[in-house]
């Protein structure tokens, strides 16, 4: 939940000559990259916004925003409501859609090392969007099964053994996800190349621009779901609406111009296939450097604690505030618009703000805002669906600032030749911390009476139990600020750390070990959560004993 970050003293938009790093006396000296104009990290002219090559890059993130904003959000209205699939099956859908995110680093290594016809970005973008379009098209033209029940109130009368099998849809959605993740990993590599050509004083403008485009198209996805799939067969209030097949076909059609724009607008220099052994050695050397393993540790540990939540959030929304699906999607639309505005503001005015102060201030503001909305609702001081949904809308202000700062750090660390792998590794680490956090959340909350049947009773005891779980999540979020010491405060300090920081094989080995363990853990727990026989194992979070 987000409150507007109040910086008493903002660091002004500095010229290159004023960017400094600390010398031995504690004062700052010039820290720009030698021989590159304006402190750029890479030779070459920075492309202008809305130039031909930027339009090609914008198209990638527009497609990502629309499709990534739509497909995962269809799990509830289509698989759960329309097909009446049991919970273990819908969990499998969400798990399979998330698995490609954990493979970004490996996809990045492929795009970095195996150019197609001399190009290592554009062909993979086209292949990714083609796979995505084919998967979406198949879902769009497949005969739609009849909705399993006509009225929602009949659902309790159905037998689980008679449910329609939606496995074919899950597999196709997973393939579509693999497609757009492949395309965006290649795009991330090109994004890093463009961003590193920018002068130090304005570096970060590129990320702010492309992620603003992505979020605007996520708003469009929310509109499609809110207004299109709001028929009664999808749990909505309207008598008619778009079908799931219509939405998938619409997305498939949207992929066609993206492929065309990619072919004609994305520009990159021809690239000879590198020596893979030398590439791995250079990546290993990068991981051993202090700024790299230090920032990886920050991303993993800080996100592990910051992602702690409480399991009662969903039941509260259903049973206490009675939020409708339409209003839930509308709140996402407003929230994404706020997110875009804050990305733009941060990209324009916040390029030189202290990263530690931004993350610390926003994390604290999120806790404070969430506490107001949550406690008033939990203790029935005032219960209203828009009051409850308003909290996450406001939280998009600090969340946007946290998100864009994370991309700033990645650009500073990525090296020449391994951009996609570095970007993929650093973002993968952030993704890998989430299943750990979710598992701990379930394990902690399993000791409290905060499950659906408890929430429905709405007793003083249950409200107290919910409050305990909320306070535990807040304590974890505040504790995550301890790891801010691992994050360099700004771009100049990051570059100084790159030049002066020592390498450590021990720390590099430890980094690879816990990242590999987290990756295996993420995939394993997601796969175990698919099967009913293993769904309640402790490592998947367990189940509530009724």
pLDDT, tens digit, 9 for 90 and up, residues 314-344: 778 777 887 776 777 788 888 878 888 887 8
Three-state DSSP class for 221? helix
Residue-level pLDDT at 47: 65
Name which of 261-270, 350-359, 433-442, 456-465 the model is least confident about. 433-442
Residue-level pLDDT at 227: 84
Q: Domain spanning 286-546 has what CATH number?
A: 1.20.1250.20
Name which of 281-290, 452-461, 536-545 the model is least confident about. 536-545
Which one, of 74, 71, 95, lies nearest residue 83 by Cα? 74
Which one, of 132, 177, 158, lies nearest residue 80 by Cα? 158
Residue-level pLDDT at 176: 94
- Which tokens sit at 67? 């499709």
If residue 21 lies in a helix (H) or strand (E), which one and from where to where? Answer: strand 20-22
pTM above 0.75, yes or no: no
Q: 29: which strand partners?
A: 21
Largest distance between two CA atoms of the chain? 76
Mean pLDDT of all residues belonging to the chain: 77
CATH 1.20.1250.20-classified regions of the chain: 54-273, 286-546
Residues 6+ apart with CB under 8 A from 503: 285, 288, 289, 290
Q: How far apart are CA 109 and CA 471, in angstroms?
A: 41
Three-state DSSP class for 254? helix
Distance of CA 262 to the CA centre of its chain: 23
Are 215 and 403 in contact by the 8 Å Cβ rule? The answer is no
Residue-level pLDDT at 471: 94
CATH topology of domain 54-273: Growth Hormone; Chain: A; (1.20.1250)
- Which tokens sit at 106? 């490996």
Which one, of 70, 94, 396, lies nearest residue 218 by Cα? 70
Say yes or no to pLDDT of 165 above 60: no
DSSP classification of residue 311: T
Would you say the C-alpha torsion 464, 467, 473, 478 has a positive or negative sign?
negative
Position 12 confidence tier, pLDDT thresholds 50, 70, 90: very low
């Amino acid at each position: 939940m987000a409150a507007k970050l109040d910086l008493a003293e903002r660091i002004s938009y500095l010229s290159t000559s004023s960017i400094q790093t600390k010398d031995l006396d504690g004062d700052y000296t010039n820290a720009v990259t030698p021989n590159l104009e304006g402190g750029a990290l890479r030779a070459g002219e920075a492309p202008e916004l809305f130039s031909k090559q930027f339009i090609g890059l914008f198209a990638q993130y527009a497609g990502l925003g629309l499709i990534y904003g739509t497909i995962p959000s269809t799990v509830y209205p289509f698989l759960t409501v329309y097909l009446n699939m049991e919970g273990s099956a819908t969990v499998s859908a969400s798990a399979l859609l998330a698995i490609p995110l954990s493979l970004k680093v490996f996809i990045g290594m492929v795009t970095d090392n195996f150019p197609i016809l001399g190009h290592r970005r554009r062909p993979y973008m086209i292949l990714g969007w083609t796979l995505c379009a084919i998967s979406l098209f198949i879902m769009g033209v497949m005969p739609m099964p009849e909705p399993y029940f006509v009225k929602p109130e009949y659902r309790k009368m159905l037998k689980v053994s008679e449910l329609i099998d939606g496995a074919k849809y899950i597999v196709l959605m997973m393939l579509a996800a693999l497609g757009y993740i492949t395309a965006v990993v290649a795009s991330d590599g090109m994004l890093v190349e463009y961003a590193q050509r920018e002068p130090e004083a304005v570096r970060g403008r590129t990320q702010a621009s492309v992620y603003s485009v992505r979020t605007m198209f996520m708003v469009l996805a929310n509109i499609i779901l809110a207004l299109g799939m709001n028929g009664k067969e999808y749990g909505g209030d309207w008598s008619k609406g778009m079908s799931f097949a219509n939405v998938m076909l619409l997305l498939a059609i949207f992929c066609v111009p993206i492929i065309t724009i990619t072919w004609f607008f994305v520009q990159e220099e021809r690239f000879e296939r590198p020596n893979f052994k030398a590439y791995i050695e250079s990546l290993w050397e990068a991981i051993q450097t202090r700024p790299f393993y230090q920032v990886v540790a920050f991303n993993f540990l800080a996100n592990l604690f910051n992602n702690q939540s409480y399991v009662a959030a969903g039941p509260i929304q259903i049973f206490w505030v009675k939020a409708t699906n339409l209003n839930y999607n509308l709140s996402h639309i407003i929230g994404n618009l706020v997110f875009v505005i804050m990305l733009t503001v941060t990209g324009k005015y916040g390029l030189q703000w202290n990263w530690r102060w931004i993350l610390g201030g926003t994390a604290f503001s999120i806790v404070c805002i969430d506490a107001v909305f949550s406690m008033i609702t939990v203790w029935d001081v005032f219960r209203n669906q828009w009051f409850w949904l308003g909290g996450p809308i406001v939280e998009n202000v600090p969340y946007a600032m946290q998100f864009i700062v994370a991309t700033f750090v990645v650009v500073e660390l990525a090296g020449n030749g391994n951009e996609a792998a570095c970007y993929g590794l650093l973002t993968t680490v952030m993704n890998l911390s989430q299943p750990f956090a979710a598992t701990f959340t379930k394990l902690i909350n399993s000791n409290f009476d905060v499950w659906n049947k408890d929430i429905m009773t709405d007793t003083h005891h249950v409200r107290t139990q919910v409050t305990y779980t909320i306070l535990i999540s807040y304590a974890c979020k505040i504790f995550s600020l301890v790891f801010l010491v691992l994050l360099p405060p700004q771009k100049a300090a990051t570059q100084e750390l790159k030049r002066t920081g020592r390498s450590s094989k021990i720390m590099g080995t430890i980094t690879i070990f816990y990242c590999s363990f987290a990756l295996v853990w993420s995939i394993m727990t997601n796969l175990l959560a698919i099967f009913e026989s293993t769904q309640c194992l402790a490592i998947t979070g367990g189940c509530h004993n009724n």
